[in-house]
Amino acid sequence: MAPLPLQVSEDEVEITAMRAQGAGGQNVNKVSSAVHLRFDVVASSLPEGVKERLLALRDTRITQDGVLVIKAQQYRSQEQNRADALERLNALVNSVAVPPRVRRATKPTYGSKQRRLQSKTQRGETKALRGRVRDGS
């Protein structure tokens, strides 16, 4: 059974409204529809393993202090941008929720080694036939 996805509580995030950048006419100049979401990973209620994997990500959105900053300005309404930012935060948290499987080193089997050597020999023989034609006499 798959574990339930982690949900970050809205109490743990700090959301600030600001004006969006880019094209959008007067709406961009007048309305603070973009959203800055700040989530302190270290102080959060997430399990320790998830915190460690989240902080280990090489993501430019995570500051030196362990604060994840997400900027949402895709939509014209602040509510949609707020929901988008929370959705992206939860997606990022859930991407590291399951620990990676431990890789166990294995050795190639005897048969696979033999097949590899056979194919190398065959390839070498094919290439040897491409040389200059020599007179057999």
pLDDT given for residue 123 in this prediction = 97
Q: Which CATH number fits domain 10-95: 3.30.160.20, 1.10.1670.10, 3.40.50.10540, 3.40.190.170?
A: 3.30.160.20
| DSSP bridge partners of 71 | 36
**Is the CB of residue 43 less than 8 Å from the CB of residue 21?**
no
Tokens coding 85: 């930012």
pLDDT given for residue 33 in this prediction = 82
**pTM higher than 0.95 for the full model?**
no
Query: Tens-of-pLDDT digits for all 137 residues of the chain?
Result: 455 677 777 777 888 888 877 776 776 677 778 888 888 888 888 888 888 888 888 888 888 888 888 888 888 888 999 999 999 988 888 888 888 899 999 999 999 999 999 999 999 999 998 988 777 66
Contacts of 13 (CB under 8 A, 6+ apart): 37, 38, 39, 86, 89
How many Å apart are CA 76 and CA 123, to the nearest integer?
A: 62
